[in-house]
Amino acid sequence: MTPMHTTITRWPAFLITLVLAFAVISWWSLERAASGVSAVSDPDYYHHGLHYNSSNREMQAAQNQGWTVTPQVAGRVLTIQVDDARQTGVPGCQGAISLATGGQTPQPPLPLVDAGQGLYKVTMPANLPPTLAANLTLSKDRATIQQRLLINLKQ
């Protein structure tokens, strides 16, 4: 046998292996696409898409009014001061804190209690880790402000 003959006989085996690998990878990717849902997808994406423009307008309204949010923690009580552009408290907001549970069962949002003069309070549950992330949502009339917080309960 000549070296040329050995090279030529390897090509069909290589091509068959390449086609089989392509078929197996294609089958695997189709199986994955058909069997599972992405962990990063939002189950309520359609509702969020429908209200995307109105929620953007509400957030823009809060920014235009110059709202500032100042959180403070004392023990397990989180206080949020909301001021407008003139440094005057913004009373009458509806608000909630959604805690990031790190893969555990999500807790329902904790409602903020209006203490007057733009001050809002919430008592954090006792079973929380010393440091956790949270999402704050405050709204009044057609204005909404959302802010991510990192809460440190260690004293």
| pLDDT for 139 | 86
Higher-confidence residue of 50 and 84: namely 84
State whether 4 and 78 are in the same domain. no
Residue pair 29/22 in contact (Cβ under 8 Å)? The answer is: no
State whether 98 and 139 are in the same domain. yes
Burial of 137 (0-12, 13-18, 19+ CB in 10 A): middle
| pLDDT for 17 | 93
CATH classification of the domain holding 111 = 2.60.40.10
| pLDDT for 28 | 92
Query: Does 27 map to a domain?
Result: yes
Query: Does 92 map to a domain?
Result: yes
Model confidence at 8: pLDDT above 80: no
Contacts of 91 (CB under 8 A, 6+ apart): 114, 116, 117, 118
Strand partners of residue 110:
97
On average, the pLDDT of the chain sits at 79
Query: Does 50 map to a domain?
Result: no
- Cα 108 to chain centroid, rounded: 15
| pLDDT for 33 | 80
Q: What is the mean pLDDT of residues 16-28?
A: 94
Q: Considering only CA atoms, which of 146, 152, 43, 154 is closest in space to residue 96?
A: 146
Q: Tokens 């309070």, residue? A: 121
Domain limits for position 97: 67-152
Q: What is the mean pLDDT of residues 100-121?
A: 84
Number of domains observed in the structure of the chain: 2
Q: How many CB atoms lie within 10 A of CB 59?
A: 15
Q: What is the mean pLDDT of residues 78-107?
A: 84
State whether 71 and 19 are in the same domain. no
Model confidence at 129: pLDDT above 60: yes
pLDDT digits (tens, 9 = 90+) for 44-83: 555 555 555 545 555 565 565 677 888 888 888 999 998 8
Query: Does 101 map to a domain?
Result: yes
pLDDT grade, residue 152 (50/70/90)?
confident
